[in-house]
Amino acid sequence: MRAIVIMEPGGPEVLDWQEVPDPEPGRGDVVIDVAASAVNRADLLQRQGHYPPPKGASEIPGLECSGTVIEVGADVEGFRPGDQVCALLAGGGYAERVAVPWQQVMPVPAGVSPVEAAGLPEVACTVWSNVFMTARLRKGETLLVHGGASGIGTMAIQLAKAYGSRVIATAGSAEKVRRCLELGADEALNYREEDFSVKKADVILDIIGAAYLKKNLDALAVGGRLVVIGMQGGRVGELDLGKLLAKRASISAAGLRARPVDEKGAICRGVVQDVWPLISAGAIKPVIHATVPMRDAAEAHRLLESGDHIGKILLVR
Ligand SMILES: NC(=O)c1ccc[n+]([C@@H]2O[C@H](COP(=O)([O-])OP(=O)(O)OC[C@H]3O[C@@H](n4cnc5c(N)ncnc54)[C@H](OP(=O)(O)O)[C@@H]3O)[C@@H](O)[C@H]2O)c1
């Protein structure tokens, strides 16, 4: 098959579309003929050599895909050749074929095209697992979403609104602020001009890390839950435990990629049960900024790096 190979750590130019061996599926794997994949911020780090794949995962980048099942292992449950699916991957998505444990495979939600579905697994699983399973956002509570126009942010705004929460989003330009409001955010502010720490939120979905730790703590309501899923603003910060204690608040942090298959399976089951129906009903729409041929993955990486995008950038076969 052909796939994108990272020739050496570096800029987008190190991504090369070339012949590689087909994946070797295990007994519990589904093999997918890939229709599309999508670019995630983690892929940029992997390309630069800062985020190696977990042990046993493919060296080929790509944390999600959509396509058609072409082979199922002896232990696979619930999937057959010909099924239209999307999947959460530990790697290997920028390729013509990928093998993935069946627990991480999901049907394409009704009403979504097979290509659009490629941009759903990472954002749906990340938001569902952190905001709903871990932080237990409830109806009527307020969610503060940083980077509301990111792939993750566009899903977080829509999902929290669909579940009856109030949403405040931050973004770095007037255009992105406008899109956050269009997606349903009750308030959106340009973090370059306004201070979000004066707001009050029951749950904060944070992608900045150290640089926002103090302000996030200030913005937490009593009983608030801060969930850190990204460290774009650094990983080491100072924490005022007194403030945390006074607010009876909590902080959690989680990555998705290295979680064991059974945990990813539980997240995917939750997403299929509780997120897909909202997508099929039109309450949540995939937000796609651009669709780029997979062999031109370098161009897609440049686009994501520019920060000009809103939502997901897809890679199509
Ligand atoms: N832990 C996990 O399991 C997991 C899974 C998936 C993604 N993530 C993380 O989630 C984040 C979003 O991922 P993505 O793939 O959706 O990437 P993305 O679309 O490239 O989003 C990055 C966003 O960060 C925003 N941003 C940068 N500086 C900011 C600041 N100071 N305050 C608020 N927003 C800021 C940018 O928007 P502006 O132009 O508005 O600044 C941009 O929209 C990344 O940090 C990624 O690593 C974590």
Q: Exposed, middle or buried: residue 2 (CB in 10 Å: 0-12, 13-18, 19+)?
A: middle
Q: Are residues 246 and 129 in the same domain?
A: yes
Q: Please identify, among 207, 235, 253, the residue that sits at the C-terminal boundary of a domain.
A: 253
Question: From ligand 1's centre to the CA of 277, what distance in Å?
Answer: 26
Q: Please identify, among 227, 253, 279, the residue that sits at the C-terminal boundary of a domain.
A: 253
Question: From ligand 1's centre to the CA of 192, what distance in Å?
Answer: 15
Q: Which of the listed residues 39, 40, 64, 304 should we mutate to test ligand 1's pocket, taking the one with most ligand atoms within 8 A of CB?
A: 40
Q: Are residues 288 and 247 in the same domain?
A: no
Cβ of 234 less than 6 Å from ligand 1: no
Cβ of 227 less than 6 Å from ligand 1: no
Q: Are residues 46 and 32 in the same domain?
A: yes
**Closest to 98 measured CA to CA, from 120, 118, 74, 69:** 69
Location of structure tokens 């074929």: 97
Q: Which distant-in-sequence residues (6+ apart) come within 8 Å of 313 by Cβ?
A: 38, 39, 288, 289, 290, 291, 292, 300, 303, 304
**Closest to 155 measured CA to CA, from 38, 48, 10, 306:** 38
Location of structure tokens 């991504």: 15
**Contacts made by residues 270-276, CB under 8 angstroms, sequence distance 24+:** 270/128, 270/129, 270/132, 270/133, 271/106, 271/121, 271/124, 271/125, 271/128, 272/106, 272/107, 274/128, 274/132, 275/124, 275/128, 275/159, 276/106, 276/107, 276/109, 276/110
Question: From ligand 1's centre to the CA of 25, what distance in Å?
Answer: 32
Q: Are residues 6 and 116 in the same domain?
A: yes
Cβ of 122 less than 6 Å from ligand 1: yes
Q: The domain spanning residue 38 has which CATH number?
A: 3.90.180.10
Structure tokens at 65: 């895909």
Structure tokens at 194: 């306004």
What pLDDT score was predicted for residue 182? Answer: 98
Q: Are residues 130 and 242 in the same domain?
A: yes
Cβ of 42 less than 6 Å from ligand 1: yes
Q: Report residues of the chain scoring pLDDT below 50.
A: none
What pLDDT score was predicted for residue 121? Answer: 98
Q: Are residues 184 and 201 in the same domain?
A: yes
Q: Are residues 263 and 301 in the same domain?
A: yes
Q: Are residues 109 and 40 in the same domain?
A: yes
Please tell me the pTM assigned to this model. 0.97
Which of ligand 1's atoms lies nearest the C-alpha of 312? 19
Q: Which distant-in-sequence residues (6+ apart) come within 8 Å of 234 by Cβ?
A: 209, 210, 211
Q: Are residues 154 and 244 in the same domain?
A: yes
Q: Please identify, among 253, 280, 298, the residue that sits at the C-terminal boundary of a domain.
A: 253
Cβ of 207 less than 6 Å from ligand 1: yes
Q: The domain spanning residue 150 has which CATH number?
A: 3.40.50.720
Location of structure tokens 């396509």: 67
- The count of domains in the chain is 2
Angle at 122 between CA 271 and CA 65, to 5 degrees: 100
Location of structure tokens 């004066």: 198
Q: Are residues 19 and 47 in the same domain?
A: yes
How far apart are alpha carbons 90 and 243 in whole angstroms?
A: 37
Q: Are residues 45 and 77 in the same domain?
A: yes
Report DSSP state, residue 90: S
Question: From ligand 1's centre to the CA of 207, what distance in Å?
Answer: 5
Residue 233 belongs to domain spanning: 124-253
Q: Are residues 111 and 137 in the same domain?
A: no
